[in-house]
Amino acid sequence: MIARLGIVVLAAVVAAGCGTKTTTKTVTVAPTGTISGSTSVSPQVAAGAHDFVQFACAQCHGIGGRGGVSPFVPALKQIGPHLTVAQLTQIIDHGLGESANPTRPYMPVWGEVISAQQVRDLVAYVRAGLPSVPGATPLPVITGQGPAVEGALLYQRYGCINCHGPNGLGGVPNPQSPDKSIPPLSGADFRHEFNTDAKITDVIRSGSVIGRSPIVSMPHWGGIIPDAQLQALAAYIKTLKAG
């Protein structure tokens, strides 16, 4: 049920000599509750559309898979429906096109992060032609409230939260890596190693290619995230727990 914008009129009765005086004040009440998002696509395709946003696929492949973000990242709307279920599953689970060039994005390994059901949903969404689904849109980024606020929203928009956890606490398993998990972006060890803005933005820009599938590696963001947003991400990361 859609919550509609309401107007509340407040009446105040004020004693004024022998009589009373009534004043009114109009207050805007923001909508609350559940928003209807009915769609003609199947529940699996709808779930895949939301996964596509959650895991930041849209930030590289474009909204609705239309491309245009990087010449090295294909427009899935054009090629996706022509790929088989097996091909798409392989690419999502094991990555593709690993490159040492920090300005050349590649498809990272998602097999240790995304569940088998989420992979199936993503595959169904791509093979359906990446249709528009209500609510499956990237989080808007608010500017003008300081770089840390902007960076906190970018942390979600670019999917950093999926691997490094809320508040940069880490803990996502990466069993084939030396540390057995994806590192946190908070705590004394991180602050000691990444003690300047330049070090933080450099590792986001260049990633960390530490091995091939099934090891989850930090992808290159240098060809995707503009410098101003890298600085905002660094500002947010510096607000996280230091010890």
At 3, the pLDDT band (50, 70, 90 cuts) reads very low
% of the chain beyond a pLDDT of 70: 83
**DSSP class of 145:** S
Same structural domain, 103 and 173: no
- 30: tokens are 């923001």
In tens, the pLDDT along 11-55 reads 333 344 445 454 555 545 455 566 677 779 999 999 999 999 999
In-domain check, residue 89: yes
> Tens digit of pLDDT for each residue in 154-200?
999 999 999 999 999 998 888 888 888 899 999 999 999 999 999 99
52-105: pLDDT as tens digits: 999 999 999 999 999 999 999 999 999 999 999 999 999 999 998 877 788 888
Specify the length of the chain in residues: 243
Q: Are residues 97 and 145 in the same domain?
A: no
Q: How far apart are CA 111 and CA 108, in angstroms?
A: 9
pLDDT at 4: 40
Task: Count Cβ atoms within 10 A of the Cβ of residue 183 and give its class: 0-12 exposed, 13-18 middle, 19 or more buried.
Answer: buried
111 DSSP assignment: T
- Tell me: do 128 and 148 sit in the same domain: no
Q: What is the C-alpha to C-alpha distance for residues 217 and 178, in angstroms, rounded to an integer?
A: 12
- Asked if residue 193 is part of any domain, the answer here is yes
Q: Do residues 107 and 184 share a domain?
A: no
Q: Is position 1 within any domain? A: no
65 in the same domain as 126:
yes
Q: What is the CA radius of gyration of the chain?
A: 23
The pLDDT tens digits for 137-155 are 999 999 999 999 999 999 9
* pLDDT at 177 (0 to 100): 83
Query: Contact 219/206 with Cβ under 8 angstroms?
Result: no
The per-residue pLDDT for 207 is 86
Asked if residue 102 has a cis previous peptide bond (ω within 30° of 0), the answer is no
The amino acid that residue 74 corresponds to is: P
* Better-scored residue on pLDDT, 212 or 104: 104
Single residue among 121, 138, 155 that ends a domain in this structure: 138
Does the pLDDT of residue 213 top 80, yes or no?
no
The total of structural domains in the chain comes to: 2
Which residue is associated with the tokens 């049920």?
Answer: 1
Q: Are residues 156 and 238 in the same domain?
A: yes
Question: How far apart are the C-alpha atoms of 21 and 9, rounded to whole Å?
Answer: 15
Domain holding 82, by residue range, is 41-138
Has residue 3 been placed in a domain?
Answer: no
**What pLDDT is attached to residue 116?**
97
**Residue 155 within any structural domain of the chain:** yes
Given pLDDT bands bounded at 50, 70 and 90, which one contains residue 129?
A: very high
Among 138, 172, 206, the domain boundary falls at: 138
Looking at residue 112, its pLDDT comes to 87
Beta partners for residue 218, in sequence order: 208
The answer to whether residues 122 and 164 belong to one domain is no
Question: Which CATH number is 53's domain given?
Answer: 1.10.760.10
Task: Indicate whether 168 belongs to any domain.
Answer: yes
Residue 216: what pLDDT?
Answer: 85
Phi, psi of 20 (to 5 degrees): -125, 155
Residues 190 and 221 in one domain: yes
* Residue 21 placed within a domain: no
Same domain, 131 and 192: no
CB contact set of 19 (below 8 Å; sequence gap of 6+): none
Backbone angles phi, psi at 88, to 5 degrees: -65, -40
Instruction: Answer yes or no: do 47 and 122 share one domain.
Output: yes
85/164 same-domain check = no
Same domain, 124 and 155: no
At residue 76, what is the residue type? Answer: L
Q: Any idea of the CA torsion for 181, 185, 187, 193, to the nearest 10 degrees?
A: 100
